Amino acid sequence: MNQHSELFHSINQTSRHYSKLLNEKLVPLGLYAAQWSIIFLLKRDGALSQKEISLYLGVEAPTMTRTLIRMEKSGWINRATGNDKREKMIQLTAASDNEYPKWINAVREAEEATLENVNEEEINGFLNTMKKLKNNLE
């Protein structure tokens, strides 16, 4: 197997294992890793359209709609009509703001466990590489 194939296989497998660990930490708190990605994005960027979230996360519209409906039923987000009647704007609720400290602590536990024996220089180099890979995919 060539090194390029090994790299992409490794990225995929590491992502799967990390998602599993993240779910183990978050599910007892009422959240899934896929939902955490949306919470993280909204916390960082503020209210976004459903389309913007889908594009950023690389998730198909029907899957995103199902996830957002579940999150709305759980009380974590509000979906409101945007400038265009077809556009749905998504924002965090007060309930999610209240739970956020628990969620971020669980996420940080998963991150720390995953980054054990990895130094800041390695993290920065990997981030730079990932940015280049992502830019090539856009």
DSSP assignments along 32-69, one per residue: -HHHHHHHHHHHHH-SEEHHHHHHHHT--HHHHHHHHH
Q: Could you give the domains of the chain?
A: 21-137 (1.10.10.10)
Q: Taking the mean position of all CA atoms in its chain, how far away is CA 25?
A: 14
Q: For the whole model, what pTM was predicted?
A: 0.86
Whole-number pLDDT of residue 82: 75
Does residue 15 carry a pLDDT above 80?
yes
* Average pLDDT, integer, range 16-45: 96
pLDDT digits (tens, 9 = 90+) for 75-132: 999 988 877 777 889 999 999 999 999 999 999 999 999 999 999 999 999 999 999 9
